[in-house]
Structure 1
């Protein structure tokens, strides 16, 4: 067993707000007031009381605890709390002394004297606090006698002018009117990891910490208990981890105390409800009847806050209550309950019946293992339940090879449920098993997929290629799917040159009579490979075939993964509506089936399709959801991709703060050349463009891919090419932009997409000589090609750029119509920064328009704002340069940008805007 740290832990993880409230109470100017902390067992209520004692300073302390054993003794808790200061009761009025003495000596307190008793307690505390301020605490006030709780609540509401602080704690459902209360919610993942690290010899592996965090459900005591029972092998991630917090830990003892207070029939039905994971009310009703009672016996448990009962069934509102009810029951009680539930399941609930029987099996049982495997097929009871069934089937197997195969299936199901760390632990259990090539190959395929989404894509590529080769002879469909993921890993890492090897392997596996799903995968791999080598004549037909096959899939072949593959093909041939339809179907199907492992990828593809369709708000919503699911399922690489896409979407809207925040969330862990890194650079390049740093923008966007080497993010650079060209148009030489545009042109011309050809025409117009017929014709072609029913944002950008071109070519009258349309479109889209630029251009074209909608502080960078303020105060450019340690030329440059952003033309207007 791992020895937990013996160092006293004084930091309360995840309870900063509560600790702050305690310090505010104790350090307040009057020193008086009360707080009530309520939460489930193990949530840290007692730790907060201890914290209050530790920070009491020079206060005297009275401390008590509500005891369940004394719950039937009125005022027993009050007697224990006040016993140290009862000698001061002689200073109270005689009636109060008498009432207090009678109550605390067990003679009770009639209803007519309860006010006098409460006033006596308040008076006694006030007398005690005359010597020095007082802290009075009562932990678990709801567990003791009710009269004590009522008196303390009365006192706690009347401390405004007294140097008395009261801190009470109670269960999750306890509240008290007039007393500031704080519910102790679960710890987040970071704080949960910190609790474990505080108590283990060194930080545990990430996979172990994640599984323990899930088991602990944010309950501090559960995490402490789990840390205390880990073996060295479990701590290193080499052995299976516990299924629940230990029943003899602090949390288990707390629940056992609560359960022991319930009637026997209540505990019996409560255990049945805890073990019946399906929650079918009819099954519970029959089971309770077979046990000699009824579900009405749950009433005391419901009153105690352990369960909620309604016509839909029984629920456990506290995350760990179900597990602790099971864990604290005796072996005989659990066995009886499982057998009873198994008898009530019938043939329609085959998996649940098998799980109940497996729970009481004591040795290898091949027939039951087979029953579990067959019943779990298809995961109708949920992927997590199916995974547990296959894991148990592996335990009951009498053949090592069958056990290993079942463990791999259990790991696959765990991954489908969005539990990658659990899947890794199950795969880790294979290390001591037989080296069956087929089983090892399947394990490699899953290892590779886990690495692709959650770990190292280069490792994923190698592992997936090995796994595909291992299973190619027995399962070509699985081998093809693995190769498609291997290709995705190569693209994610920026190693597109390795895709040729992937395509070669896939070509050898292809057969003329392949079913549609396998044909779709083969077509996708062939199409992507051709796209990456710019062979669009071969890429187009293959990718379009994949889109058609995706729409035609029926029956078992319709999977979220297959639909995602078809959506990728649709994006590569620019059939945006079809790609969006396929990605949306993948999202819906993944949700319906509970396949959380593939949901972030499906949402990523839907967001990209929405970007191309000009639905930026929808794309942002898709990426936000994808980010949430990816974080919840530990898919670090998908997290980074969604953060990168959110950064791009914010940058395109010129929302600098949001874009930079998303980029900072990606962190420095992304590898240069990877897709998340490229998305972050794209976003920064757009922000450089918005701020007028054209050379920086062009250099950054040109670095996204390295033509001729097969490295970098070619597909991301294709998406970013319109911004690269726009930045390069301000530079004297732009070979990188011309090269990127040539790549974009070859792709755009191979598609049937008017929007791509519109962007191509706009790019050529930007690179044409200013004021030339070529430039004007390019812009007009772009406007003609922009779809009327989609891409409103890009059309507005073309109108803006065309208006800017006409104005700078000294054709302000012609420019105004385009600028007006751009301003109107941006305003309707909520793109305030672009609307402001269109407004500034309109002013520069001689149009009288309103003042900027946003203050200068929001439109200028920090340095620009300081220069503007100095100029508005009357400083010359030379004086500004001297005060800010800049060159006069730099100040001139910034001042031009300031005038442009604010839509003004003179220093007088600048002073007026800043005022």
Structure 2
């Protein structure tokens, strides 16, 4: 039997909500009880949580039991083991109840008309025991034992409101103990999975931890099993990771034990379900009939947690479960099952599935079947095409054919967002022997793209340039795609001076009358190179041509890769709406076609467009989605960029805790001039600026790039120039800010973007002599240029800066109009720190104003709001710490942040703010 008892969770990683639910169950009034059902798949940590409840029981008497599959046919066997310590108290029960209880626990069973009496007897026995001390009663895996015990415990659990008895049940399904409050144990997220792995492998590469969490499906026991079989090379990320947890690990042994207890017909149908990854119920029903049984035979497997069945899909909960089921039968039985499945797939739309089943049952070589698989893969989704080509390689007649098909399979695997599988297929292609030059070049292209997205962008550009040169003679489009990726690599690492070589090679591949896809890439390379060297007269037209071409893409040319190229061009020429539409289209196409390898990049560009459009909340939502996709697909470089954007967006909101947390997640692995490191520095500079540390902010932003030598993140520094100028205006960094503004001006003036020109005017106003007509004119020009339908935040910041300028120039009456507008806008946007700055300026301008009028619930995090409510109720910090299971120091820290966010100074003001 498998239960989560094998999961030794250090600190119960990722189970904070469940632990809190258990504490609430145990910490209620002493004369009241309650019940809770925790349910989840095998290995989810159920028994570890039962152990946590035992440790938290305090003065309660603990009764502990577990459902045993070996006793599932023995009525009340689990109840007998649970209640055995209390049976000497049964004499206190009324005679009818005492008799039925003793008979049931002695193995005589219980007639249907006496079940209520038996249940009342159990409730009475627990009540009698609880009179001396409150009681905690736990039954782990209640669904695995006899159903009669589960029925009685469900009856008891529904009747504890006025009794000092707490009942905690765990199960693999929620279909037990109806009417009892329940909580599902969901998969661990990336952070909790990484923490669990770090407890066992302290030096594990962070990207490997994220990939393993995906392999394990967030299952704690699967993660533990994986940690036990990793090699040192896999821990470092140098070797491909396992595709599933080990079948001989604790979770795999548990699945095998459950499988062994199923009837023969159930195992037969379960094997068909495991061998058909599409999970089509109609196909499974036909296959079951062909095997001489029915799909209804799956019911025991569903009850055992080995399969989930609904109207649309039959799924196994873990890839490991599928592997265990498949390996539970001899090879001949698996082949026969595959042929049976192939026989019931007779539609023309099932060509690939049918061929895959036939191929899996075939003995290599089988060149005709391999060719059929290769042909069918052309119309398949990326993951299915990868599987088909990988099997076609195994059936190929020659090593060269096998290598070519493996490289093709690797490309599809990567497109599907599975880099580990792609790397393994590339490694297999090398083992097959020397490939032809074209295949070797295509392998190099893929290897470079994997390096760019999944861990080694500094090496990616050289790999991609070499591969582009090797493939240019046979596939110009592929060569141009490699050059575009090489350019992306040098920009990511901050080596922009190397982009000129990329552009030179792309120009050499340009031909008259090129198709739109080829023209788009050559124009992009030329436009980016010109933009990076400040030649906007040449760069602008080329990039605008890319945007036009991107909007015209149709048919096979309409790919996420081409659309992201066009979105990049749109951002560089500041047509933010068009860039957003192109990035959004790239997201839609990538999702529709299952091309997950480019989804995170498309989301990155959409987030940047939303930033420029002033939609900061939307940009944060997009970046969070992009981060999730990047982590699920093993793309650590994209994940770093999304973390950096989230840090910047949080800093703009003056959300220090969130911004610093995102920066910590980027970690120390980011290279000094890399894009994630630059975004992190930008975020820290904004936080410095919010706290009036102008010199520190200017120093950070000045160091982002060294345009004279083409190093660093020039484009990030351009985005951050308005903050750099504001920070540096009154510091020794003013010359650097002036130089950065000159770069910004050359770019802004080459665009038709009023928002860029508004920012330029504001920056010039900040650098103008204080109190001069030039300063005021610059601010008023910026206000005139700010778009009325977008960018409320930037307009409000201009209002604030103009109000401050007027106030310092001893024109308080004129200043107040702009400061009120800024304060109101910041309040509506929920930007408390900026609203506080406007409030401070208003007070300095001679106006008596209170704190910004903004509901506290919108300004505080959930935990901060709960602390604030307890303070308003009169609780001390020590009392709050005890009630929320926090340290007093943590409460003090949160309270300081609460006061800062709400703009208040006392607990009395806090109580007033909440009401």
Q: State if a TM-score over 0.5 links the two structures.
A: yes
Q: Call closer, same or farther: CA 1:90–1:698 in 2, change over 3 Å.
A: closer
The structure with the largest alpha-carbon Rg is 1
The answer to whether 1:487 aligns with 2:487 is yes
Q: Distance in 2 between matches of 1:7 and 1:584?
A: 42
Q: Distance in 2 between matches of 1:230 and 1:653?
A: 42
Equivalent residue, structure 2, for 1:786 = 786
Q: Give the CA deviation at 1:525.
A: 0.9
Equivalent residue, structure 2, for 1:510 = 510
Q: Distance in 2 between matches of 1:834 and 1:234?
A: 47
Equivalent residue, structure 1, for 2:426 = 427
Q: Give the CA deviation at 1:799.
A: 3.0
Q: Call closer, same or farther: CA 1:807–1:413 in 2, change over 3 Å.
A: same
The answer to whether 1:366 aligns with 2:367 is yes
The answer to whether 1:406 aligns with 2:405 is yes
Corresponding residue pairs, total = 859
CA deviations 1:19-70 (Å, max 9, x no partner) are: 7877998999979986644332333445556777899999998765434454
Taking the TM superposition and a 5 Å limit, the aligned residue runs for 1:664-703 are: 664-703=664-703
Q: Which stretch shows the higher mean deviation, 819-828 or 85-94? A: 85-94
Q: Give the CA deviation at 1:245.
A: 4.9
Equivalent residue, structure 1, for 2:415 = 416
Q: Distance in 2 between matches of 1:7 and 1:71?
A: 24
Secondary structure of the residue that 1:42 maps to in structure 2? Answer: coil
The answer to whether 1:473 aligns with 2:470 is no
Q: Distance in 2 between matches of 1:234 and 1:846?
A: 65
Secondary structure of the residue that 2:771 maps to in structure 1? Answer: coil
Q: Call closer, same or farther: CA 1:330–1:243 in 2, change over 3 Å.
A: farther
Q: Call closer, same or farther: CA 1:540–1:561 in 2, change over 3 Å.
A: same
Q: Which stretch shows the higher mean deviation, 364-373 or 782-791? A: 782-791
Q: Call closer, same or farther: CA 1:388–1:90 in 2, change over 3 Å.
A: same
Equivalent residue, structure 2, for 1:386 = 385
Q: Distance in 1 between matches of 2:836 and 2:53?
A: 54
Secondary structure of the residue that 2:170 maps to in structure 1? Answer: strand
Equivalent residue, structure 1, for 2:151 = 150
Taking the TM superposition and a 5 Å limit, the aligned residue runs for 1:110-509 are: 110-118=111-119, 120-121=121-122, 138-154=139-155, 168-176=169-177, 181-189=182-190, 192=193, 212-223=212-223, 244-245=244-245, 250-259=250-259, 262-299=262-299, 301=301, 307=307, 309-316=309-316, 322-346=322-346, 347-378=348-379, 380=380, 382-436=381-435, 437-509=437-509
Q: Distance in 2 between matches of 1:199 and 1:586?
A: 40
Q: Give the CA deviation at 1:582.
A: 1.3
Equivalent residue, structure 1, for 2:868 = none
Q: Which stretch shows the higher mean deviation, 844-853 or 694-703? A: 844-853
Report the TM-score when normalising by structure 1.
0.83
CA deviations 1:851-893 (Å, max 9, x no partner) are: 544799x99xxxxxxxxxxxxxxxxxxxxxxxxxxxxxxxxxx
Cα contact 2:41–2:317 (8 A) shared by 1: no
Q: Distance in 1 between matches of 2:391 and 2:208?
A: 20
Secondary structure of the residue that 1:642 maps to in structure 2? Answer: helix
Equivalent residue, structure 2, for 1:806 = 806
Q: Give the CA deviation at 1:719.
A: 1.4
Equivalent residue, structure 1, for 2:872 = none
Q: Distance in 2 between matches of 1:54 and 1:793?
A: 51
Q: Give the CA deviation at 1:565.
A: 0.8
Cα contact 1:252–1:328 (8 A) shared by 2: no
Taking the TM superposition and a 5 Å limit, the aligned residue runs for 1:865-904 are: none
Q: Distance in 2 between matches of 1:132 and 1:656?
A: 47
Q: Distance in 1 between matches of 2:496 and 2:718?
A: 14
CA deviations 1:883-905 (Å, max 9, x no partner) are: xxxxxxxxxxxxxxx99x9899x
Cα contact 2:10–2:196 (8 A) shared by 1: no
Q: Distance in 2 between matches of 1:10 and 1:730?
A: 51
Equivalent residue, structure 2, for 1:864 = none
Q: Distance in 2 between matches of 1:263 and 1:472?
A: 59
Q: Distance in 2 between matches of 1:60 and 1:646?
A: 48
Cα contact 1:38–1:175 (8 A) shared by 2: no
Q: Which stretch shows the higher mean deviation, 759-768 or 795-804? A: 795-804
Q: Which stretch shows the higher mean deviation, 719-728 or 37-46? A: 37-46
Q: Distance in 2 between matches of 1:454 and 1:425?
A: 14
Cα contact 1:550–1:563 (8 A) shared by 2: yes
Cα contact 1:38–1:182 (8 A) shared by 2: yes
Q: Call closer, same or farther: CA 1:358–1:242 in 2, change over 3 Å.
A: farther
Q: Distance in 2 between matches of 1:452 and 1:800?
A: 42
Q: Distance in 2 between matches of 1:83 and 1:617?
A: 58
Q: Distance in 1 between matches of 2:165 and 2:851?
A: 58
CA deviations 1:408-434 (Å, max 9, x no partner) are: 222222222222222223223344343
Report the RMSD for the aligned CA atoms in angstroms: 4.2
Cα contact 1:204–1:236 (8 A) shared by 2: yes
Cα contact 1:238–1:425 (8 A) shared by 2: no
Q: Distance in 2 between matches of 1:45 and 1:7?
A: 9
Secondary structure of the residue that 1:169 maps to in structure 2? Answer: strand
Equivalent residue, structure 2, for 1:892 = none
Q: Give the CA deviation at 1:523.
A: 0.9
Unaligned runs of 5+ in 1: 1-5, 860-897
Q: Distance in 2 between matches of 1:847 and 1:59?
A: 61
Q: Distance in 2 between matches of 1:709 and 1:823?
A: 42
Q: Call closer, same or farther: CA 1:38–1:328 in 2, change over 3 Å.
A: farther
The answer to whether 1:99 aligns with 2:100 is yes
Cα contact 2:37–2:171 (8 A) shared by 1: yes
Q: Give the CA deviation at 1:563.
A: 0.9
Q: Call closer, same or farther: CA 1:776–1:706 in 2, change over 3 Å.
A: same
Secondary structure of the residue that 1:673 maps to in structure 2? Answer: coil
Q: Give the CA deviation at 1:521.
A: 0.9
Unaligned runs of 5+ in 2: 1-5, 860-898
Q: Distance in 2 between matches of 1:366 and 1:574?
A: 53
Q: Call closer, same or farther: CA 1:667–1:213 in 2, change over 3 Å.
A: closer
Q: Call closer, same or farther: CA 1:177–1:801 in 2, change over 3 Å.
A: same
Secondary structure of the residue that 2:770 maps to in structure 1? Answer: coil
Q: Distance in 2 between matches of 1:723 and 1:248?
A: 57
Report the TM-score when normalising by structure 2.
0.83
Secondary structure of the residue that 1:708 maps to in structure 2? Answer: helix
Cα contact 1:583–1:606 (8 A) shared by 2: yes
Cα contact 1:239–1:429 (8 A) shared by 2: no
CA deviations 1:314-347 (Å, max 9, x no partner) are: 4456776555444434544432322122122233
Q: Distance in 2 between matches of 1:617 and 1:535?
A: 34
Taking the TM superposition and a 5 Å limit, the aligned residue runs for 1:9-48 are: 14=14, 36-46=37-47
CA deviations 1:92-146 (Å, max 9, x no partner) are: 6655554344334443323443344445556667888999998865443322322
Cα contact 1:843–1:903 (8 A) shared by 2: no
Q: Which stretch shows the higher mean deviation, 684-693 or 51-60? A: 51-60
Q: Which stretch shows the higher mean deviation, 727-736 or 58-67? A: 58-67
CA deviations 1:505-529 (Å, max 9, x no partner) are: 2222222232211111111111111
Q: Which stretch shows the higher mean deviation, 31-40 or 122-131? A: 122-131
Q: Which stretch shows the higher mean deviation, 562-571 or 55-64? A: 55-64
Q: Call closer, same or farther: CA 1:165–1:649 in 2, change over 3 Å.
A: closer
The answer to whether 1:519 aligns with 2:523 is no
Secondary structure of the residue that 2:669 maps to in structure 1? Answer: coil
Q: Distance in 1 between matches of 2:788 and 2:60?
A: 74
Q: Call closer, same or farther: CA 1:731–1:342 in 2, change over 3 Å.
A: same
Q: Distance in 2 between matches of 1:665 and 1:209?
A: 13
Equivalent residue, structure 2, for 1:74 = 75
The answer to whether 1:591 aligns with 2:591 is yes
Q: Call closer, same or farther: CA 1:782–1:848 in 2, change over 3 Å.
A: same
Q: Distance in 1 between matches of 2:232 and 2:777?
A: 73
Cα contact 1:640–1:666 (8 A) shared by 2: yes
Q: Distance in 2 between matches of 1:776 and 1:410?
A: 63
